[in-house]
Amino acid sequence: MKPAIADGHVVTIHYRLTLDDGSVADQSFGGEPMPYLHGSQNIVPGLERQLAGKKIGDKLEVVVPANEGYGEYDPAAEQTVPKSQFPPNVELTVGMAFQTRGRNGQTMPVYVRAVKDDQVTVTANHPLAGQRLNFTIEVVDVRRATADEKKHGHAHGPGGHHHH
Protein backbone atom coordinates (compact mmCIF):
# COMPACT_ATOMS: atom_id res chain seq x y z
CA MET A 1 0.00 0.00 0.00
CA LYS A 2 1.26 3.46 -0.83
CA PRO A 3 1.82 5.55 2.29
CA ALA A 4 -0.27 8.72 2.57
CA ILE A 5 1.51 11.96 3.44
CA ALA A 6 1.51 12.55 7.20
CA ASP A 7 3.79 13.97 9.87
CA GLY A 8 7.11 12.14 10.05
CA HIS A 9 7.28 11.36 6.33
CA VAL A 10 9.91 12.58 3.92
CA VAL A 11 7.96 13.75 0.89
CA THR A 12 9.54 14.53 -2.47
CA ILE A 13 7.59 16.84 -4.74
CA HIS A 14 7.87 18.57 -8.05
CA TYR A 15 6.36 22.03 -7.73
CA ARG A 16 5.65 25.12 -9.74
CA LEU A 17 4.79 28.35 -7.92
CA THR A 18 2.79 30.83 -9.99
CA LEU A 19 1.79 34.28 -8.74
CA ASP A 20 -1.54 35.96 -9.52
CA ASP A 21 0.10 38.03 -12.30
CA GLY A 22 0.92 34.76 -14.08
CA SER A 23 4.66 34.88 -13.44
CA VAL A 24 6.42 31.72 -12.29
CA ALA A 25 8.27 32.56 -9.05
CA ASP A 26 9.98 29.21 -8.67
CA GLN A 27 9.76 25.64 -9.87
CA SER A 28 11.45 22.26 -9.74
CA PHE A 29 9.96 20.84 -12.97
CA GLY A 30 12.79 20.34 -15.41
CA GLY A 31 15.25 19.88 -12.54
CA GLU A 32 15.55 17.89 -9.34
CA PRO A 33 12.38 17.40 -7.25
CA MET A 34 12.46 18.80 -3.71
CA PRO A 35 12.42 16.60 -0.61
CA TYR A 36 11.02 17.96 2.69
CA LEU A 37 10.06 16.58 6.09
CA HIS A 38 6.30 16.78 6.53
CA GLY A 39 5.12 18.30 9.81
CA SER A 40 8.32 20.26 10.46
CA GLN A 41 7.42 23.56 8.79
CA ASN A 42 9.95 23.03 6.00
CA ILE A 43 7.41 24.47 3.54
CA VAL A 44 4.69 27.14 3.84
CA PRO A 45 1.86 26.06 6.20
CA GLY A 46 -0.97 26.23 3.65
CA LEU A 47 0.86 23.93 1.24
CA GLU A 48 1.87 21.49 3.97
CA ARG A 49 -1.71 21.31 5.26
CA GLN A 50 -3.18 20.62 1.82
CA LEU A 51 -0.60 17.94 0.98
CA ALA A 52 -1.56 15.81 4.01
CA GLY A 53 -3.16 12.55 2.91
CA LYS A 54 -1.87 12.72 -0.67
CA LYS A 55 0.06 9.81 -2.23
CA ILE A 56 2.83 9.07 -4.72
CA GLY A 57 1.72 9.99 -8.23
CA ASP A 58 -0.92 12.49 -7.10
CA LYS A 59 -1.02 15.71 -9.10
CA LEU A 60 -2.81 18.70 -7.66
CA GLU A 61 -3.33 22.43 -7.82
CA VAL A 62 -3.00 24.09 -4.42
CA VAL A 63 -4.00 27.70 -3.77
CA VAL A 64 -2.47 29.19 -0.63
CA PRO A 65 -3.64 32.59 0.67
CA ALA A 66 -0.91 34.99 1.86
CA ASN A 67 -1.67 34.42 5.53
CA GLU A 68 -0.91 30.70 5.10
CA GLY A 69 2.00 31.42 2.78
CA TYR A 70 4.71 33.98 3.46
CA GLY A 71 2.45 36.23 5.55
CA GLU A 72 0.70 39.52 4.91
CA TYR A 73 2.93 42.43 3.91
CA ASP A 74 3.78 44.60 6.92
CA PRO A 75 4.93 48.08 5.83
CA ALA A 76 6.20 48.76 9.37
CA ALA A 77 8.81 46.03 8.97
CA GLU A 78 11.02 48.15 6.73
CA GLN A 79 14.18 49.94 7.69
CA THR A 80 16.77 51.93 5.77
CA VAL A 81 20.37 51.50 6.85
CA PRO A 82 23.75 52.65 5.50
CA LYS A 83 25.48 50.30 3.07
CA SER A 84 28.51 50.30 5.39
CA GLN A 85 26.59 47.96 7.71
CA PHE A 86 26.85 45.19 5.11
CA PRO A 87 29.93 43.11 4.32
CA PRO A 88 32.07 45.12 1.87
CA ASN A 89 32.70 42.21 -0.52
CA VAL A 90 28.99 41.51 -1.16
CA GLU A 91 27.15 42.94 -4.16
CA LEU A 92 23.72 43.86 -2.82
CA THR A 93 20.77 42.90 -4.99
CA VAL A 94 17.02 43.19 -4.40
CA GLY A 95 15.62 40.08 -2.74
CA MET A 96 18.94 39.04 -1.19
CA ALA A 97 18.53 37.58 2.32
CA PHE A 98 20.62 38.33 5.40
CA GLN A 99 20.44 37.02 8.96
CA THR A 100 20.16 39.68 11.63
CA ARG A 101 19.69 39.60 15.37
CA GLY A 102 16.33 40.65 16.70
CA ARG A 103 15.73 42.48 19.94
CA ASN A 104 15.83 39.30 22.00
CA GLY A 105 18.97 38.00 20.32
CA GLN A 106 17.11 35.57 18.07
CA THR A 107 18.25 35.36 14.44
CA MET A 108 15.76 36.49 11.84
CA PRO A 109 16.01 36.89 8.07
CA VAL A 110 15.75 40.28 6.41
CA TYR A 111 15.56 40.91 2.69
CA VAL A 112 16.98 43.72 0.58
CA ARG A 113 14.07 45.72 -0.83
CA ALA A 114 15.91 48.61 -2.48
CA VAL A 115 19.45 49.93 -2.89
CA LYS A 116 19.92 53.64 -3.49
CA ASP A 117 23.35 55.28 -3.41
CA ASP A 118 24.81 54.31 -0.03
CA GLN A 119 21.44 53.54 1.58
CA VAL A 120 19.88 50.10 1.71
CA THR A 121 16.22 49.46 2.53
CA VAL A 122 15.72 46.11 4.17
CA THR A 123 12.47 44.47 5.18
CA ALA A 124 11.54 41.61 7.45
CA ASN A 125 8.80 40.74 4.97
CA HIS A 126 9.55 37.74 2.79
CA PRO A 127 9.77 38.78 -0.89
CA LEU A 128 6.53 36.84 -1.47
CA ALA A 129 4.68 38.32 1.53
CA GLY A 130 1.18 39.51 0.67
CA GLN A 131 0.99 37.24 -2.38
CA ARG A 132 -1.43 34.43 -3.02
CA LEU A 133 0.58 31.33 -3.99
CA ASN A 134 -0.69 29.04 -6.75
CA PHE A 135 1.14 25.72 -6.66
CA THR A 136 1.13 22.94 -9.21
CA ILE A 137 2.31 19.85 -7.36
CA GLU A 138 3.30 16.32 -8.33
CA VAL A 139 4.04 13.93 -5.48
CA VAL A 140 7.15 11.99 -6.53
CA ASP A 141 7.96 10.00 -3.38
CA VAL A 142 6.72 9.42 0.17
CA ARG A 143 8.75 7.46 2.72
CA ARG A 144 9.17 7.26 6.47
CA ALA A 145 11.75 9.68 7.88
CA THR A 146 14.84 8.21 9.53
CA ALA A 147 15.50 8.86 13.23
CA ASP A 148 18.23 11.37 12.24
CA GLU A 149 15.89 13.27 9.95
CA LYS A 150 13.24 13.50 12.66
CA LYS A 151 15.84 14.70 15.16
CA HIS A 152 17.15 17.35 12.75
CA GLY A 153 13.73 18.42 11.49
CA HIS A 154 14.63 18.16 7.80
CA ALA A 155 15.07 15.64 5.00
CA HIS A 156 18.46 14.12 4.15
CA GLY A 157 19.40 13.46 0.56
CA PRO A 158 20.04 10.13 -1.15
CA GLY A 159 23.28 8.64 0.21
CA GLY A 160 22.63 9.83 3.73
CA HIS A 161 23.56 12.98 5.47
CA HIS A 162 24.06 16.36 3.89
CA HIS A 163 23.95 19.74 5.45
CA HIS A 164 23.99 23.23 4.07
Binding site for Zn ion (CB under 5 A): 152
For Zn ion, give the closer residue by CB, 48 or 149: 149
Residue 146 beta carbon to Zn ion: minimum distance, rounded to whole angstroms: 10
User: What's the closest the beta carbon of residue 159 comes to Zn ion, in angstroms?
Assistant: 13
The least distance separating Zn ion from the CB of residue 158, rounded to whole angstroms, comes to 14
Position with the least CB separation from Zn ion? 152
Q: How far is the CB of 131 from Zn ion (least distance, A)?
A: 30
User: Which of 16, 152 has the CB closer to Zn ion?
Assistant: 152
Q: Choose between 7 and 20: whose C-beta lies nearer to Zn ion.
A: 7
Which residue lies nearer to Zn ion by CB, 76 or 147? 147
The residues, ordered by sequence, that sit 6+ positions from 58 with a Cβ below 8 Å of its Cβ are 137, 138, 139
